């Protein structure tokens, strides 16, 4: 059973890691808000059968907690992709590695135990983020880095809100309803910012949008939901590093991103620091810390 759970977590990390490069394909032809809108439109269409499958799941649309979680989820993606439009695939992916450090800090402020080893990891990941933010070079702008980091804070808020959501009738209930609510939240914001979305995109751009909607949104969320419910937080958290590693590798190999010293050293500090964080919490009971999902991309 655990082997299948680990495979699901690995799949979620891979799918989420695909989000940055797939997003860049679409960002070449349209605005960030429109990319997110079209991505969630695709994901919502795929999620609707799960969101409307029975009365108990449909009742989740009346839950204030679920509505807030969906709204946060949608806004987080809008902010993240506004950042992605201003930075490289590699830089955006590596910054995601800050998430375990943010979760460790927030857990401490909420009165949960954080091990000394985890604080070392927090310091390393924070130093890595500062190194990248201070010298993004040709990889992006300071505004892009700031937006990317701000998105992580919104994702963090979403994580803690969704923990309070009522349990759905199936593992797909909360993810499906959250995606539909997120799409409804994104729609008016995207229209206000840029008007109606362009639909005359190239096949490559549509491939990026559909790939994000199906793989990096719906399937990734479902895979993580399955896997994280069957293993401890620390074990699940290790898989967060698949997303930035995959995103960075694709950025360098396929998008021609230049791996500068600051970007490479900062990324290494973030990844090693995040790994120390999740391994440092290996003795913490699973009920004390939330399962750490990779920040969606």
Angle at 19 between CA 274 and CA 160, to 5 degrees: 50
Q: Which residues pair with 87 in a beta bridge?
A: 140
Place of tokens 């857990």: 107
Higher pLDDT, 238 or 161: 161
Rounded Cα–Cα distance for residues 105 and 25 (Å): 34
pLDDT, tens digit, for every residue of 177-205?
999 999 999 999 999 988 888 899 999 99
Domain boundaries, the chain: 2-280
Higher pLDDT, 115 or 268: 268
Angle at 158 between CA 79 and CA 43, to 5 degrees: 70
Q: What pLDDT is attached to residue 79?
A: 95
Mean pLDDT computed over 137-160: 83
pLDDT at residue 67 above 90? yes
Tell me the pLDDT of the chain averaged across its residues: 80
Of 126, 86, 83, 85, the C-alpha closest to 103 is 126
* Sequence-distant (≥ 6) Cβ neighbours of residue 149 within 8 angstroms: 83, 95, 98, 129, 133
Of 82, 205, 89, 77, the C-alpha closest to 138 is 89
Instruction: Count other Cβ atoms within 10 Å, centred on residue 167.
Output: 10
pLDDT at residue 207 above 90? yes
Flag the least confident range among 37-46, 138-147, 220-229, 247-256.
247-256
Q: Kindly write down the DSSP assignment for every residue of 201-262, as one continuous string.
A: --HHHHHHHHHIIIIIIIIHHHHHHHHHTTS-HHHHHGGGGHHHHHHHHHHHHHS-----HH
The structure's pTM equals 0.77
pLDDT, tens digit, for every residue of 258-279?
767 776 787 788 778 767 766 6
Higher pLDDT, 282 or 224: 224
Q: What pLDDT is attached to residue 287?
A: 43
Categorize the per-residue pLDDT at 288 as very low, low, confident or very high, splitting at 50, 70 and 90.
very low
pLDDT, tens digit, for every residue of 14-37?
888 888 888 888 998 999 999 999
pLDDT at residue 289 above 50? no
Q: What pLDDT is attached to residue 124?
A: 79
Coil/strand/helix, residue 130: helix
pLDDT, tens digit, for every residue of 221-247?
888 777 776 765 555 655 666 766 676
Cα 46 to chain centroid distance, Å, stands at: 19
Q: What pLDDT is attached to residue 160?
A: 79
């Amino acid at each position: 059973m655990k082997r299948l759970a680990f495979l699901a977590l690995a799949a979620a990390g891979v799918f989420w890691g695909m989000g940055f490069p797939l997003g860049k394909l679409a960002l070449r032809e349209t605005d960030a808000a429109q990319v997110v809108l079209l991505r969630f439109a695709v994901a919502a269409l795929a999620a609707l059968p799960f969101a409307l499958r029975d009365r108990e799941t449909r009742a989740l649309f009346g839950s204030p907690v679920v509505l807030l979680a969906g709204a946060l989820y949608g806004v987080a993606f809008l902010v993240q992709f506004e950042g992605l439009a201003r930075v490289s695939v590699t830089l955006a992916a590596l910054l995601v590695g800050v998430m375990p450090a943010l979760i460790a800090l927030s857990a401490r402020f909420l009165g949960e135990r954080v091990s000394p080893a985890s604080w070392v990891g927090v310091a390393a990941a924070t130093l890595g983020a500062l190194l990248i933010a201070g010298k993004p070079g040709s990889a992006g702008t300071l505004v892009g880095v700031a937006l990317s980091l701000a998105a992580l804070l919104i994702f963090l808020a979403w994580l803690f809100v969704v923990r309070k959501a009522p349990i759905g009738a199936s593992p797909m209930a909360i993810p499906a309803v959250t995606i539909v609510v997120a799409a409804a939240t994104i729609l008016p914001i995207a229209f206000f910012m840029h008007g109606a979305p362009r639909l005359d995109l190239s096949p490559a751009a549509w491939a990026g949008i559909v790939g994000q909607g199906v793989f990096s949104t719906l399937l990734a969320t479902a895979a993580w939901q399955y896997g994280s419910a069957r293993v401890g937080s620390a074990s699940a958290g290790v898989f967060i590093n698949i997303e930035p590693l995959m995103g960075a590798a694709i950025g360098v190999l396929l998008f021609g991103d230049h791996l500068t010293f600051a970007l490479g050293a900062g990324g290494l500090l973030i990844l090693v620091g995040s790994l120390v964080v999740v391994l440092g919490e290996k003795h913490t009971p699973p009920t004390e810390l939330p399962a750490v999902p990779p920040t969606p991309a």
